[in-house]
C-alpha cells in the first residue's frame, strides 16, 4: 500500500552488494562477517 501512495521509492537497479548467508568455504565471510566489518568501520570512523 505504501508503494502505491508513493511513499516507498521503487528500485530501478539491482543492488550493488550481495551477502552470502552461509558458506561452506571458511574463507568466505557470511552475513555475520559483513555486519562485523561494518561495525569496525563505523568504530574507526568515530575514533
pLDDT digits (tens, 9 = 90+) for 5-29: 555 556 666 666 777 677 788 777 7
Q: Is residue 13 part of a domain?
A: no
CB 30 within 8 A of CB 20: yes
Q: Is residue 1 part of a domain?
A: no
Number of domains, the chain: 1
* Predicted TM-score (pTM) of this structure: 0.49
Residues 6 or more apart whose CB falls under 8 angstroms from that of 10 comprise: 3
Q: Is residue 37 part of a domain?
A: yes
User: Which residue range(s) make up the domain with 46?
Assistant: 18-47
Read off the pLDDT of residues 28-37 as tens digits, 9 standing for 90 and up. Answer: 777 788 889 8
Amino acid at each position: 500500500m505504501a508503494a502505491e501512495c508513493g511513499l516507498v521509492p521503487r528500485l530501478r537497479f539491482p543492488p550493488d552488494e550481495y551477502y552470502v548467508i552461509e558458506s561452506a568455504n571458511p574463507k568466505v565471510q557470511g552475513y555475520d562477517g559483513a555486519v562485523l566489518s561494518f561495525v569496525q568501520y563505523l568504530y574507526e570512523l568515530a575514533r
